[in-house]
Amino acid sequence: MLMNMKEAIRQALGVALAAQDEVLVFGEDVGGVGGVFRVTEGLQQRFGEDRVFDTPLAESAICGVAVGLCTQGFRPVVEIQFIGFIYEAMDQMLVQGPRLRYRSGGRYQAPLTVRVPYGGGVKGAEMHNDSLEGLLLQTPGLKVVAPSNPYDAKGLLLSAIRDNDPVVFLEHLKLYHLFREEVPEEDYAIPIGKAKVVKEGAHITLVTYGAMVLPSMRAAEELEAKRDVTVEVIDLRTLAPLDIELIVASVTKTNRAVVVQEAQRTSGIAAELIAQINERAILSLEAPVMRIAPPDTVYGACGSLIRLRRFTVNMGEPPGERPNFRRHARLYTRCDRGVGTRRGISLCGLR
């Protein structure tokens, strides 16, 4: 059946709710309204208000209740409306949940799934466009998943709900309605921690995830049309734990690598991947691993941010200078369209 990512996620939630009575879905407006993006639309009518229900506007309470429910044998699936709102729930998401098994000496598990829309390119307001996955990656016991297509979204979400460890399930806003593809209506699972080679190649490895997969594919195809090379593209699918064995095997074959992320440059998944590639495969590299990422600045509110001339927060400009909003918006747009990816491939020695 043809589905977009939003529909695939909704179907995965329906499958999980029907299969296990312990599965609960709750968050802000997820019940009667169906969530801010209508992902959970119709689930409350199917499964009742005891299993799909609304909560107050309190992210710390949402995740705190979820951790408590885990100790009582439930499998809560909660929604945080935008990733910019997770700060209020950091203690529950990054401390209480992931450490539950350790702190209880194995008595309790934390089968908690936190669904979080993230990313830009949809003309959202400030704090609605962020990519904060780098904040999550250094948490022991926490798994982080970021699908790039409807098929993977359904299979990975079902795996997340059935996992006995907490999983942050990242749903890129731009991918909700971007395209449709065939998704089986029956139950299936994609293992967490397994990347996928979405395009095979022999001369360079391009590693990315989420909404950056499609522009990376376009950049690879444009390069191949101009030069006598082939590009291997890897979709990470899971950011923690990383499928580093697949990545190293590809880099060993191609001898070059580029890592692409939408998140700000510093301390992201790209930095971790580059470090691990250098640790495991540096003798196979014929050029430094390139990192394609936006600048370390706020992902603003598109056109409205550009018009805020009186805004004086420093965004990477020299002290005393006003932020160049047009420049920052342009850099993010270039990354979103794959322009930086094409340049990074060129700088990797394929001239």
Range of the domain at 48: 2-182
The larger pLDDT score, comparing residue 129 to residue 332, is at: 129
Is there a single domain that holds both residue 168 and residue 210? Answer: no
Mean pLDDT for 78-93 is: 94
Terminal Cα distance for the chain, rounded: 43
Instruction: Look up residue 216 and give its two tokens.
Output: 């990376």
CB atoms within 10 A of CB 92: 25
Range 251-258 average pLDDT: 97
Q: What is the CATH number of the domain that holds 243?
A: 3.40.50.920
* Per-residue DSSP letter, 2: E
Burial per residue of 105-122, b for 16 or more beta-carbon CB atoms within 10 angstroms, e otherwise:
eeeebbbbbbbbbbbbbb
Mean pLDDT of 187-194: 98
Q: Distance between CA 261 and CA 284 in Å, rounded?
A: 23
Residue 66 above 60 pLDDT? yes
Burial 32-44 (b: 16+ CB within 10 A, else e): eebbbbebbbebb
Same domain for 15 and 146, yes or no, is yes
Question: Among the three residues 140, 156, 182, which one is the final residue of a domain in this structure?
Answer: 182
Calculate mean pLDDT across residues 138-154. Answer: 97
Binned at pLDDT 50, 70 and 90, residue 313 comes out as very low
Residue 329 reports pLDDT greater than 60: no
Q: Please indicate, yes or no, whether residues 107 and 219 belong to a single structural domain of this protein.
A: no
**What is the pLDDT, as a whole number, of residue 348?**
60
Mean of the per-residue pLDDT values of the chain: 89
From the list 128, 172, 203, 328, the catalytic residue is 128
**Pair (113, 243) in one structural domain:** no
Residue 303 has pLDDT above 80, yes or no: no
Token output for 166 = 């907490």
On whether both 207 and 138 belong to a single domain, the answer is: no
> What pLDDT does residue 202 have?
97
The pLDDT score that the predictor gives to residue 127 is 77
Asked whether residue 28 falls in the same domain as residue 157, the answer is yes
**Total domain count, the chain:** 2
Is residue 152 domain-shared with residue 224, that is, in the same domain?
Answer: no
Identify which of 224, 245, 226 has the alpha carbon closest to the alpha carbon of residue 234: 245
172 is catalytic: no
Does residue 111 lie within any of the structural domains? yes
| The two three-digit tokens of residue 1, written as one number | 């059946």
The reply to whether 259 and 158 lie within a common domain is no
CA dist list (Å): 283 to 17, 229, 277, 280, 289: 49, 21, 10, 8, 12
Q: Which residue has the tokens 């008595």?
A: 107
* Residue 135 domain-assigned (yes or no): yes
Within a domain: 116 = yes
**Token representation of residue 93:** 């998401």
pLDDT of residue 342: 59
Residue pair 193/247 in contact (Cβ under 8 Å)? The answer is: no
Is 116 a residue whose pLDDT tops 50?
A: yes
Last residue in a domain, options 182, 211, 233: 182
Residue 94 lies in a domain: yes
What is the predicted pLDDT for the residue at 319? 55
- Please identify, among 133, 151, 182, the residue that sits at the C-terminal boundary of a domain: 182
Q: Where are the beta strands (DSSP E) in 125-284?
A: 143-145, 167-172, 181-182, 196-199, 204-208, 231-235, 238-240, 257-260
- 8 A C-beta contact, residue 247 and residue 255: no
311 pLDDT band, cuts 50/70/90, is very low
Q: Read off the CATH number of the domain in which 77 is found.
A: 3.40.50.970
Asked whether 75 and 111 are in contact (CB, 8 A), the reply is yes
Do 210 and 267 lie in one domain? The reply is: yes
Residue 310 falls within a domain, yes or no? no
pLDDT in the model for residue 121: 84
Residues 16 and 161 in one domain: yes
Nearby residues of 138 by Cβ (< 8 Å), 6 or more positions away: none
Structural domain includes residue 102:
yes
**Judgement on whether residues 136 and 208 belong to the same structural domain of the protein:** no
Exposure string of 203-242, with b = 16+ CB inside 10 Å and e = fewer, is bbbbbbbbbbbbbbbebbeebeeeeebebbbbbbbbbbeb
Strands in the chain per DSSP E = 2-3, 23-27, 52-54, 75-79, 113-118, 143-145, 167-172, 181-182, 196-199, 204-208, 231-235, 238-240, 257-260, 290-292
69 lies in the same domain as 155: yes
- pLDDT per position as a tens digit, 158-182: 999 999 999 999 999 999 999 999 9
In a domain, 320, yes or no: no
What is the pLDDT at residue 345? 56
Does residue 125 lie in a domain region?
yes
pLDDT at position 247, please?
98
Q: Tell me how far apart the alpha carbons of residues 9 and 3 are, in angstroms, rounded to a whole number.
A: 10
Six token digits for residue 292? 């394609």
Distance CA(57)–CA(27), nearest Å, equals 8
Reported as a pLDDT band with limits 50, 70 and 90, residue 129 is confident
Amino acid present at 120: G
